[in-house]
């Protein structure tokens, strides 16, 4: 049996984004693979410092609410790492860990120090990079600091895990790594987690009439997600089709700019910005929408596309990053558009919204396709990496 300490800055009930869901599902699915899993994360006074949930031993350090200012956030992360390191040292006195597994730069320092202290291998999963998020513009603080930590972390790790072949090439290029040190293990999805609210007809009636086509955009509202391209494509679609409505679900630093763009394009009467929404409403949106568009400029994986396909909502994705590995170019499970090209996106949206046979075929094929991204398989492959690290000299 392997005994693994997993570090993550978020873990349910603290969910800032997709990382918390990823670490939870991975941890729970590792348990049947003869892995004793301990997760070290953060919490507040309302959460137990230690508990066992679905076979996973969860340990939490008490941290204040994270600041919104990015400069202050970096200092906050440093303090969190110091607290995680202290807590991890105490855990090391109680348990013998075979592997330390850190997720992203936010726990890099604590993860590295604990692996050295325990004299065990360090695995690091890089879910995204600061370089990619900012299209290479990492010369100013705090982006330069975060990029530096990520580079240091990647080179300190005994093995790096990425969620796509695209990300393997990306991190090897950006951090000057040998490809042999990087393993590709895709993210998983559990269709049973995608539970909608009860009254879908009433929910849809809030945003579109029966004769209208509803397009949904889901994710963090940041520049690299490309929502500005989708908005730019909409006026022509509204003019040509007349029955198009849109929803934007999410929040982020680019939200106000996107709202201004929509107003300037005359789109206010054709759509709604919902802001941040809970999972139950999010999962319901996929089921009431006629189309989900993922227009990312930078996308390590593309979980939104998988969630939409698993919910019976056809997808159009940008031909970029990890999205290429989720939606092949053969148009069997979804459609692609040329990344960054709003005009081509509009063409593909019009094609899909006016071809019911195409939509039905994509939905049917996609429902089978998503079964390839199974959490049990993700956990099995991760457990194999742990076993490989245990056999190697430290």
Per-residue pLDDT of the chain (394 residues; tens, 9 = 90+): 789 999 999 999 998 878 999 999 999 999 999 999 999 999 999 999 999 999 999 999 999 999 988 889 999 999 999 999 999 999 999 999 999 999 999 999 999 999 999 999 999 999 999 999 999 999 999 999 999 999 999 999 999 999 999 999 999 999 999 999 999 999 999 998 898 887 999 999 999 999 999 999 999 999 999 999 999 999 999 999 999 999 999 999 999 999 999 999 999 999 999 998 888 899 999 999 999 999 999 999 999 999 999 999 999 999 999 999 999 999 999 999 999 999 999 999 999 999 999 999 999 999 999 999 999 999 999 999 999 999 876 5
Element (H, E) at 56: strand 56-62
Domains 2-188+374-391 and 191-372 share a fold: yes
Overall CATH class of domain 191-372: alpha beta
Q: pLDDT at position 394, please?
A: 55
φ/ψ region of 138 (left if φ > 0, alpha if ψ in -120 to 50, else beta) reads alpha
Domain locations in the chain as residue ranges = 2-188+374-391, 191-372
What stretches of 95-226 show up as alpha helix (H) in DSSP?
Answer: 108-118, 130-133, 143-156, 165-175, 200-205
Q: Which residues contact 377 (CB under 8 A, 6 or more apart)?
A: 188
Question: pTM value?
Answer: 0.93
50-53 and 56-62 strand pairing: antiparallel
**Distance from CA of residue 308 to its chain's centroid?**
14
Q: pLDDT at position 70, please?
A: 80
Tokens of 15: 């969910």
Q: pLDDT at position 69, please?
A: 85
Q: pLDDT at position 278, please?
A: 82
Q: Which residues contact 260 (CB under 8 A, 6 or more apart)?
A: none
Q: Which residues contact 220 (CB under 8 A, 6 or more apart)?
A: 17, 250, 251, 252
Residue 54 bridge partners (DSSP):
none
What stretches of 176-290 show up as alpha helix (H) in DSSP?
Answer: 200-205, 227-241, 255-264, 279-288
- Which architecture does CATH list for 2-188+374-391? 3-Layer(aba) Sandwich (3.40)
Q: pLDDT at position 34, please?
A: 93
Distance between CA atoms of residues 252 and 325, nearest Å: 26
Phi/psi for 109 (5° steps) reads -65, -45
């Amino acid at each position: 049996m392997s005994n693994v300490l997993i570090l993550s800055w978020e873990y349910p009930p603290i969910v800032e984004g997709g990382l918390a869901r990823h670490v939870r599902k991975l941890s729970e699915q590792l348990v049947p693979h003869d892995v004793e899993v301990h997760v070290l994360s953060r919490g507040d006074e309302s959460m137990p410092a230690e508990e066992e949930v679905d076979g996973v031993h969860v340990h939490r350090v008490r941290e204040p609410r994270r600041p919104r200012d990015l400069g202050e956030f970096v200092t906050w992360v440093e303090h969190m790492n110091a607290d995680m390191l202290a807590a991890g040292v105490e855990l090391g006195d109680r348990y013998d860990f075979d592997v330390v597994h850190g997720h992203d730069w936010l726990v890099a320092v604590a993860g590295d120090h604990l692996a050295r202290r325990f004299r065990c291998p360090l695995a690091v999963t890089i879910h995204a990079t600061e370089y990619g998020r900012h299209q290479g513009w990492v010369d100013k603080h705090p982006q330069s600091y975060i990029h530096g930590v990520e580079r240091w972390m990647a080179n300190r790790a005994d093995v790096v895990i990425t969620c796509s072949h695209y990300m393997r090439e990306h991190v090897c290029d950006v951090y000057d790594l040998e490809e042999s040190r990087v393993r590709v293990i895709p993210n998983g999805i559990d269709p049973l987690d995608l539970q909608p609210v009860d009254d879908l007809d009433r929910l849809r009636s809030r945003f579109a009439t029966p004769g209208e086509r509803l397009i949904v955009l889901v994710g963090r509202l940041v520049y690299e997600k490309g929502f500005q391209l989708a908005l730019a494509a909409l006026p022509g679609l509204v003019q040509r089709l007349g029955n198009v409505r849109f929803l934007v679900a999410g929040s982020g630093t680019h939200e106000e700019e996107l709202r201004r763009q929509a107003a300037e394009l005359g789109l206010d009467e054709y759509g709604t910005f919902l802001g941040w929404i809970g999972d139950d409403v999010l999962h319901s949106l996929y089921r009431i929408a006629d189309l989900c568009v993922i227009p990312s400029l930078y996308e390590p994986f593309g979980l939104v596309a998988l969630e939409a396909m698993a919910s019976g909502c056809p997808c159009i994705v940008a031909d970029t990053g990890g999205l290429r590995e989720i939606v092949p170019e053969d148009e069997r499970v979804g459609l692609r558009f040329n990344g960054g090209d709003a005009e081509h996106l509009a063409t593909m949206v019009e094609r899909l919204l006016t071809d019911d046979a195409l939509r039905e075929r994509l939905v049917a094929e996609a429902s089978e396709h998503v079964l390839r991204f199974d959490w049990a398989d993700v956990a099995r492959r991760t457990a194999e990496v742990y076993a490989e690290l245990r056999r190697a000299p430290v």
